[in-house]
């Protein structure tokens, strides 16, 4: 579908949990001509941990800055080897990041953690999305917000999460008052990076994204923007001024955050003054890079998943309980952005391989590959196992970080591959629970487009998702949809396209291979899903009043049938 554009390019910079990636995209055809990944050097795979508290996950803001410089510089160096490319043909740059990942900053908008005084204080660093230390604060916010007639929770699924902005700030107030007092404001990573590279970090200058503000910080036009003082005061009076620090209202990522600072431009090798788009979360940009549109659910499958869809602003849409948010403009202008997700997917598989079945057990080569090879030989239900995918809590639909993993059905013969398969299945059951929730509230999910390394590389996982969700699974053509989406917004901010839809026509697409559900597998999984749902409701919801004594017996009955035993 390449149009007769002269060769123009945009750059997307995508901040993940362990590294950041810069991607150079040809805007005539979506070709990804160069990229570079920068692993964060601090902590364990870029994450600062506390051995005493598995809920804690922080990051060093210095890694973000170094990551921008190195990844953009090196991707450009690589792009220069491509015929026809020139840095002057780059029209814009976009940024997406994990979130909610708020950073305590000073009066100038600079992270406290960069100062020697706070360098070794974990609370002064970035509070990574998966930090769950604020679970008590989240419960308190949920409780107080649910009593407030403003309806703060209606747009974020009815429960405020420990992963989100205010839970983390309130937690900091309580456990690290010195850090809290030193922080003039708290800025989302998605807003910090574009501000930093355009010299607009000061709270009166910064152009924030509606994505982070709307999904995580309770920003909504219905109540005039940030949550009101009387509500914040009930949580802690010290929160009140934090809601009024920023001058400009948040906007969607089609807008420009600023112009690339000359000193940064020089370091990375781009023209000074280049348009930098307003930042947003990785999944939101990723959904754009994967081709999101009304009726399409995009699943960004990584260590966790984000599930994103959009719905026209001019059509009716009910509030959906358990969703991470319904925010006008958070994905693209003119659409509601709907966000859901699973707190751990790839992280669960990695946990299993790291602690229970590493390569030393599974044989030569990559443990994931070996386990997948064994797991795909098994029949659905033949292991007798079922698991809950809650090793990192449940984001959608229960919004509860104080949930944990569960495995049931193991015998004395249960193998590592059987458990690996059960874990894969558990994440698919979690995915189906989200799709069902969307559809129960009037949204149609006509197609599912998957992206991320797992969707890209693991046909067994995709087939399992197709069988369990009983829907065809498509895979995004790009392996780097987040960075690609960021580049699309960079291009729009730089004037190369008028909107997302016209950019997507040139740039996005899905692979030829579509995973279609196997009818027999789907029928067995429909039985297993009933058991998953029973466990899900019994362990996850206070309202469950049913029984559980059927679970082990039903699993055994399915197992015996699927193995052809006892005939």
Interface with a second copy by CB under 8 A: which residues? 50, 52-55, 133, 175, 344, 347-348, 350-351, 355-358, 360-361, 384, 390-392, 402-416, 419, 538-542, 544-545, 547-549, 551-553, 555-556, 560, 563-566
Question: How many Å apart are CA 371 and CA 331, to the nearest integer?
Answer: 36
| Minimum CB distance to a second copy smaller for 163 or for 191 | 163
| Minimum CB distance to a second copy smaller for 177 or for 224 | 177
The CB-side HSE value for 497 (13 A sphere, CA atoms) comes to 25
In the complex, what is the shortest distance from the CB of residue 52 to a second copy, in angstroms, rounded to a whole number?
5
In the complex, what is the shortest distance from the CB of residue 197 to a second copy, in angstroms, rounded to a whole number?
32
| Minimum CB distance to a second copy smaller for 339 or for 418 | 418
In the complex, what is the shortest distance from the CB of residue 364 to a second copy, in angstroms, rounded to a whole number?
12
Question: How many Å apart are CA 512 and CA 535, to the nearest integer?
Answer: 37
In the complex, what is the shortest distance from the CB of residue 482 to a second copy, in angstroms, rounded to a whole number?
22
In the complex, what is the shortest distance from the CB of residue 403 to a second copy, in angstroms, rounded to a whole number?
5
| Minimum CB distance to a second copy smaller for 137 or for 282 | 137
Q: Using the CB atoms, write b or e for 320-344: b if 16+ within 10 Å.
A: bbbbbbbbbbbbbbbbbbbbbbbbb
| Minimum CB distance to a second copy smaller for 272 or for 361 | 361
Question: How many Å apart are CA 448 and CA 287, to the nearest integer?
Answer: 11
Q: Would you say 331 and 287 are in contact if contact means Cβ atoms under 8 Å apart?
A: yes
535, 521, 237, 168: which is closest to 379 by C-alpha?
521
The CB-side HSE value for 104 (13 A sphere, CA atoms) comes to 30
In the complex, what is the shortest distance from the CB of residue 417 to a second copy, in angstroms, rounded to a whole number?
9
Cβ neighbours around 90 below 10 Å, total: 27
In the complex, what is the shortest distance from the CB of residue 509 to a second copy, in angstroms, rounded to a whole number?
34
Q: Would you say 64 and 15 are in contact if contact means Cβ atoms under 8 Å apart?
A: yes
| Minimum CB distance to a second copy smaller for 390 or for 497 | 390
Q: Would you say 478 and 288 are in contact if contact means Cβ atoms under 8 Å apart?
A: no
In the complex, what is the shortest distance from the CB of residue 563 to a second copy, in angstroms, rounded to a whole number?
5
In the complex, what is the shortest distance from the CB of residue 290 to a second copy, in angstroms, rounded to a whole number?
26
| Minimum CB distance to a second copy smaller for 342 or for 481 | 342
Question: How many Å apart are CA 318 and CA 158, to the nearest integer?
Answer: 13
Cβ neighbours around 177 below 10 Å, total: 12
| Minimum CB distance to a second copy smaller for 406 or for 501 | 406
Return the HEC string of 301-328: ECCCEEEEEEEECCCCCCCCCCCCEEEE
| Minimum CB distance to a second copy smaller for 403 or for 468 | 403
Distances 536 to 12, 539, 554 between C-alpha atoms, Å? 38, 6, 16
Q: Which residues pair with 393 in a beta bridge?
A: 391
In the complex, what is the shortest distance from the CB of residue 181 to a second copy, in angstroms, rounded to a whole number?
20
324, 277, 278: which is closest to 300 by C-alpha?
324
| Minimum CB distance to a second copy smaller for 29 or for 377 | 377
């Amino acid at each position: 579908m390449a149009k007769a554009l002269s060769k123009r390019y945009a750059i997307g910079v995508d901040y993940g949990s362990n590294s950041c990636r810069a991607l150079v995209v040809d805007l005539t055809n979506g070709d990804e001509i160069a990229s570079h990944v920068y692993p964060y050097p601090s902590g364990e795979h870029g994450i600062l941990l506390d051995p005493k508290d598995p809920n804690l996950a922080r990051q060093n803001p210095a890694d973000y800055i170094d990551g921008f410089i190195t990844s953009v510089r090196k991707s450009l160096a690589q792009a220069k080897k491509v015929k026809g490319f020139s840095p002057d043909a780059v029209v814009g740059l976009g940024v997406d990041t994990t979130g909610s990942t708020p950073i305590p900053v000073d009066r100038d908008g600079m992270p406290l953690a960069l100062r020697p005084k706070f360098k070794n204080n974990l609370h002064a660093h970035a509070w990574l999305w998966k930090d769950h230390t604020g679970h008590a604060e989240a419960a308190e916010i949920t409780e107080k917000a649910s009593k407030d007639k403003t309806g703060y929770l209606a747009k974020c699924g009815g429960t405020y999460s420990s992963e989100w902005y205010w839970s983390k700030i309130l937690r900091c107030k309580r456990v690290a008052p010195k850090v809290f007092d030193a922080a003039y404001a708290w800025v989302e990573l998605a807003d910090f990076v574009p501000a930093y590279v355009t010299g607009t970090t000061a709270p009166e200058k910064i152009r924030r994204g509606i994505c982070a503000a709307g999904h995580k910080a309770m920003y909504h036009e219905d109540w005039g923007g940030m949550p009101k003082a009387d509500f914040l005061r009930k949580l802690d009076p010290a929160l009140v001024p934090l809601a009024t620090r920023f001058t400009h209202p948040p906007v969607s990522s089609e807008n420009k955050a600023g112009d690339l600072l000359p000193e940064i431009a020089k370091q990375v090798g781009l023209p000074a003054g280049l348009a930098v788009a307003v930042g947003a979360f990785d999944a939101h940009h990723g959904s754009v890079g994967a081709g999101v549109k009304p009726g399409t659910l995009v699943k960004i499958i990584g260590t966790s998943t984000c599930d994103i869809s959009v719905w026209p602003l001019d059509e009716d849409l009910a509030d959906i309980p358990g969703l991470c948010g319904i925010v006008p403009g958070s994905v693209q202008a003119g659409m509601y952005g709907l966000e859901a997700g699973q707190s751990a997917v790839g992280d669960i598989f990695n946990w299993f391989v790291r602690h229970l079945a590493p390569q030393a057990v599974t044989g030569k080569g990559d443990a994931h590959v070996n386990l997948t090879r064994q797991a795909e030989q098994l029949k659905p239900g033949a292991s007798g196992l079922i698991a809950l995918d809650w090793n990192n809590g449940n984001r959608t639909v229960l919004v509860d970080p104080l949930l944990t993993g569960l495995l049931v059905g193991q015998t004395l013969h249960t193998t590592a591959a059987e458990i690996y398969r059960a874990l894969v299945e558990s994440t698919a059951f979690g995915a189906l629970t989200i799709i069902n929730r969307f559809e129960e509230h009037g949204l149609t999910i006509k197609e599912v487009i998957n992206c991320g390394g797992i969707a890209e590389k693991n046909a067994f996982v995709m087939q399992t998702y197709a069988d369990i969700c009983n829907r065809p699974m498509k895979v995004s053509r790009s392996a780097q949809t987040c960075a690609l989406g960021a580049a699309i917004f960079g291009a729009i901010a730089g004037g190369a396209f008028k909107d997302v839809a016209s950019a997507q026509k040139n740039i996005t697409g899905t692979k030829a291979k579509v995973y279609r559900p196997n009818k027999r597998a789907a029928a067995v999984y429909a039985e297993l899903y009933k058991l998953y749902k029973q466990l899900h409701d019994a362990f996850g919801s206070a309202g469950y009043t049913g029984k559980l004594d059927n679970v082990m017996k039903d699993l055994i009955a399915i197992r015996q049938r699927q193995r052809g035993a006892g005939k």
